[in-house]
Structures are given as structure tokens and as C-alpha cells.
Copies of this chain bind each other. A is one copy, B any other.
Amino acid sequence: MTSDTERLLDATGWQILVALQSDARISYSELGQHVGLIAPAVRERIRKFEEAGIITGYHATVNRRLVGLPVSAIIRMGLHASESSAATIAALDSIEEVLECARVMGTDTLILKVGATSIEHLEKLIDRLLVYGPLTSAMVLSTPIERRNVTQAITMQAQTEA
């Protein structure tokens, strides 16, 4: 955390950040009432968060099951000797079923989260991915923790432990 950003992240700043993680469509006025500021002040704080790159976007979350993607899987993959990491990532970027992709250090090289309409669809997707490297697939049964807010507490906990 640079000194530039920590100036923005006082108690009020964190309150705003947490509120927007919980409900990105809250109005500046209502948010202001929660944190004890007037709407334009809230607006200005948020603008600075965006400018600093602290807030990278606002996104609606959709229930994939209800829109036709009931199947999810987490796929770990290595890379064939012939496949460069950059080329593989570029290829994955063009596969819409790949919802997330992390480059990791460990047994595997990439870990993907994918969505599919059916088991058959998933099978075909796996075939397409096998081109780039060996896979280890795990079907998602449920998602007990879908998304957790980043709070000031997490970052403070480390300091008290240190």
C-alpha cells in the first residue's frame, strides 16, 4: 500500500469501499448518511478511488444456473513444452466459457474457473483445453462462499500479528 493510497483509506474511506462492494448501486446521498458525509464529498472520495485504481469496476453478479450455465468446474492445467504461457492465455481469452484464469506457482501453471451449459458441453470444453496442456478437473458442487468483501480488518490483522 503506497502512501498515496493510504491517505485515501482512512476509516471513512474503508466504509465507503465496503459499502460499494456490498451494493454498487447505492446512491451518494444514502452512502453519505451512513458515513457522515454529504453527497458531493462521497462522490469526490469515490472519484479518487477510481482515479487511484483502487476501485477497478462495478459489476452485476448473475446466477449462472438461472441463465443457462448450471455447470461449473475448476480446472488446473500445466503447459505443454511447445506452448508458451502468453500464447495459451491469449487462446483462453477467446474462449468465453473461461470465466476466470490465474497464473500460479506450484504443481500447476494455470487455474481456471469455467462455466458450461451441460456435462456434454463441459466435456467438449475440456477437449478444447487439452490442446494446451494436461488438465486436472474438479466439478463445482456448490459455492459456500461466493464472494467476500475486502475489509480494513483483514489488512489490520496482519499488523497486530506482526
Contact = CB atoms under 8 A, between A and B. Distances in A.
Interface string A113-154: 001111011001000000000001111111111111011011
Interface residues on A, range: 35 or more
Number of copies of this protein chain within its complex: 2
A155 B67 contact: yes
Is chain A's interface secondary structure helix, strand, loop, or mixed overall? mixed
A22 interface: yes
B59 A121 contact: no
Contact of A158 (B74, B108, B116): B116
B104 A141 contact: yes
5 contacts: A59-B147, A98-B145, A99-B148, A102-B140, A107-B136
